[in-house]
Each structure stands twice: as structure tokens, then as C-alpha cells.
Amino acid sequence: MSAPRYERFRSLRASFGVTHTDEGTWICPSQEAYETGVQHYDADEYLQAVARLEESLSEALSALEECRGLCEGPRDDEDEEEEMQPGLYEAIAAHYIQVLKCRQQCVLEIATKPGRISATEDFIPSHLDLLQFAYSQVGNQTLAAECAASYLLFYPTDEPMLEKMKQYRTELGGDAAVTARQSIQHYVQRSLMEKKLIYYAVEHLGETFHDPDLWTPDELIPENLREKHRENQEKQKQETLDVEEREKRGALPFEGIAVTMDSQQMNGTQRVVFDRVLTESECKDLLRLTKAAGEAGDGYRARRSPHTPHERFEGLTVLKAVQLAQNGDVEWRDAKLLLQASEKSRRIIESYFTPGKKLHFSFTHLVCRRAVDGKQEGRMDLSHPVHADNCLLDPEGQECWKEPPAYVYRDYSGILYLNDDFQGGGLFFTEMDTVTVTAEVRPKCGRLVAFSSGKENPHGVWAVRRGRRCAIALWYTHSPEHAEQERVKADELMEQRAMEQDQPDGDKHQGTDGSSRSSSEPRAPSRAAKPADQRQKPGLDRKQQPKVLRARDEF
């Protein structure tokens, strides 16, 4: 057994008070066979996939037996004996329950590959699911049916697999006997028996238990413990998502930027907060640009907020900023800084969430929300109601409909804050019910909050009750066809400006006031790029029709 994997299992056994093991006997299964099998499966190389997946499954079941053997032995609970001094029967029961719990956790140990802290979800059932399809593709319907029947021992009501079983029975003939593998039958029956004993101890003896399996049937769990079990399952799924998120992160492209909060600290998935993205002086320069937004920007309804009558709304797009610079209404360097700050944010978010896969700007908006004096007393609304950025949120149905008029092509969102000298205006995330707050982010200069744009991240903005809150709102897409056209035009104007600045002084472009404005802008980088190919897995069609919901305003 490799040293890191043995250390993890020794910690596992120690958590259950087990000390006796033959340290040289337990050998964890190689994850190489499983990963190689999945790679062959994804490449449609089903013969190779079958061989490696069968090898991995055999190793996993063998390692489970060795792991379970390590759970035997005396308990190291001297401290507990001093405090409780249980009687003989109590001691025997307590020891036996600890052994059973240790055995149950073995499936997590064999499903955790070196370097990871979370196990592969549904490790044993996933082998059978992959194998049944791979066998069917190579024409071995007998073994495909056997694997399907074995999988149904874990999930007996799984409709797609039940349909597969009907298909296999038809192909094999009605008289063909289809049974699950004996090894899987033994594994499931034994596991269910142990779970039943453990849950009895939890209900009647005050024990605790974190069930490692997602397939445990609800009827096995005492009714008063089922809600807790579901919460533990959701937590386990979330931990798996967090690990996958951390594993695919890339290195940040700029020095000095700090990750202040990640998904785990924000009680969600695909969420992060960066600090020190901008300096104080850069925030001040961009705030100077926001004054132009108040005077000549693109606010709604005479610059009243589209979401609340208690706030004024001022917005400026990147193209509008560059056009104002052309007219001499703002400094070129301030308009350039808006482009640079948003591009810096894009690169940070891309490297963190989707390294190697291009993110394109979908929309960029310099936005300020100002509290209207005299209209804050008794205020009960939000600065921006809870919503998701690429689907229509339906709290009652606990669904988010990814269809127009929602901006369904948006993949990631970001907010780069410029100031904190106001009251209220914090960002918050909620559950799908739009009521249960899961995380809050307080704005400050240079802070960038980023998150995926889907239903996993409903969010809103608390009311701005005093002062003026300014930020750059950012949306990104993997689809080049939905790239922000205003930004392309703004980049072209910046390139034209740079070329003019490179000309002799006599040919320098004159501003509208007749003066020559200096600038040292380099040529803006081209945003044209093709996204990497992405393999898509088929999903089930949604049959339920959505309610008629009103699309959220763009900003």
C-alpha cells in the first residue's frame, strides 16, 4: 500500500477507535484500471473499456474485503472508559457498531484515488452502468443484461435501466434467465444488513452515522432520520463538486490576487471571491468615469432604477465610454482602464473556472446604484431581486427554465466592485426558493466575485440605503457567436486611437474641442478565438411545461 493511502486509511480506522491491523496486508485497488476504462469508454473503444473496467471492479471488490478485515480488533478508547465505564453488554454492542461503521466506510477508501480527499461517487454501481452499455456495444447481450440486473440491485426503480432490461430480455428471448452477479448480490445484501443494524443503533443507542452510499433505500432508514440522511447526501454531493472544481482550476494569471472565499466557504458551487484585482487609484479613476455615466450614460427611464423606485440607476457600456473619450467628454485613459479591468477579470475567471477553454465577453456594464434621499424610510424591496443569469427562476416549482427570454448562452458572471462608501448594496446567494440565504459578499474596491450563471447560483442585491454603489457587471459565454459586439467595436476604436497616436505630431487626431489629447494605449488584443470541442452527454427531455415567467432586466 502506498504511504499516503495507508495514512488515510489509518486515520479512518483511528476515527472509529480501531488499532489492530497487519499493516502489510491491506492493499488498495489501483485506480488506473478504472480511469483507463473510462477513457476507452469515452473514446467508444468498448472492447478495451470492458477489459479495464472488469479488472477495476474485481480489484475493488477484493480490496473491500481486505479493508473490512482491518476494521477488526480491539478499540483504543481508554479515555472513554475513564468517563463512562460501560458494562459488558454495552461495551460489546459499542464495539460491534464501530466495526460495522468502519466496514461501511471502506467503500469510500477504495473509491478515493491518491491526491484526492473525496471518493468517486457511486464507485461500484458506476462500474456496472458503464459495463452494461459497453457489453451491449460489443454484442454481448448476456453480460450486458447481467450487469444491468446487478445495477438494479442498487437502484431498483431506475427507469432507463429498467427499459434496458426489457430490451435485453427481448433480444435474449423470454426463456433466458437473467440474474445479477453473485458477488454483487452478496455485496448489496451484506451492506443492507449492516446498515439496518447501524441505523437501529443510531435511533435507539445515540450513535452517529454518515452513510457513504447514495443508493441506500429510504425505507431502510428510520423515518425520523431520513431528513438528516438526505442532508448528508446533498453535503456529500457538494463536497464531490467542490473537489472537481478545485482539480480543474488553473493558476491565476496575475500576481498579488488573493482568493478570499471559495465555493465551500460560500456554501455553494462554482462561486469565488478574489481581492486586490484593482488598486485604490484604479478604482478612483473608474469612479471618475462613472460621473460621465450619470451625465451621458445609458440609464433607464430618466435614469431611474429598473428594479426599484428607491434608487437611481446609472450605466455605461464599453462602447459608450470610448465614444465619450472620442468626443472629449472623458479621458482616454479612463475609457482604456474600463477595457483593461474587464479583460483582466475575464482572464482571472477563465483561468480559475475553465482553464484551456475560452470565455468570451457577453456583456460589460459599468453600473452605479444611488439611494434616493427621502425615499428609504420603510423600504422593503431589494436593489436587484433574486434571479439566475441564464434561466427563468421559478421558486414555487423549484426550477429554472433555460429558455428565451432568458440569456441562455451566458456561462459565467462577475462583479468587480469599485467602492464601499455606501450603506447596503451587498450581493447575496440563495437556495432555489429565493429566500434561504447561503452566502453574502460585501463590496469593496478591487473585489471580484465570480460564479456560474445557472440555477445553482440564484443571487440578488440588498437595497442601497445610503450613498452610491458602483461596480463593473460582467457576463461571459463559451459561444463565440454570442460575443459582445459593442466590445469588438470599442476595441477597434481603441486600436484606431493607438495608430493615430503613433503618427507624426502634425497628423495627430484632434478632439472635438480642437485640442490634441495624448495617450499611450497599446493595440488592444484580438478577442477572436475558437472554443475547444466539448463532448456532450445526452440527457432526458423535460416534459413539464414551464409557467409563464417574466424575464429579468438585463442589468
Q: Each residue of 334-347: b (16+ CB within 10 Å) or e?
A: bbbbbbbbbbbbbe
CA distances from 504 to 340, 376, 499, 509, 522 (A): 26, 56, 10, 10, 16
The closest alpha carbon to 104, from 206, 1, 232, belongs to 232
For residues 465 and 371, the answer to whether their CB atoms sit within 8 Å is: yes
Q: Which residues contact 28 (CB under 8 A, 6 or more apart)?
A: 1, 2, 5, 9, 63, 67, 109, 110
Grid coordinates belonging to 230: 438526505
Q: Distance (Å, rounded) from C-alpha 15 to C-alpha 98?
A: 10
* Beta partners for residue 304, in sequence order: 312
Please tell me whether the peptide bond between 355 and the residue prior to it is cis, using omega within 30 degrees of 0: no
* Nearest residue to 194 via CA among 175, 177, 178, 216: 216
333 is catalytic: no
**Measured distance CA(291)–CA(409) in Å, rounded:** 31
Residue 51 one-letter amino acid: A
Q: Which of 516, 447, 473 shows the shortest CA–CA distance to 315?
A: 473
Measured distance CA(278)–CA(267) in Å, rounded = 26
Amino acid identity at 427:
L
What is residue 532's DSSP assignment? Answer: P
Contact between 480 and 471 under an 8 Å Cβ cutoff? The reply is: no
- The alpha carbon of 31 is separated from its chain's Cα centroid by a whole number of angstroms, namely 24
Q: Which of 468, 469, 487, 497 is catalytic?
A: 469
Contact assessment for residue 223 and residue 217, using Cβ atoms and an 8 Å cutoff = no
Q: 471-508: string of b/e by CB count within 10 Å (b at 16+)?
A: bbbbbbbbeeebbbeebbebbebbbebbeebeeeeeee
Report the alpha-carbon distance of residue 404 to residue 481 in Å, rounded.
16
Burial of 520 (0-12, 13-18, 19+ CB in 10 A): exposed
Asked if residue 23 lies in contact with residue 6, where contact means CB atoms within 8 angstroms, the answer is: yes
What residues are annotated to the active site?
A: 469
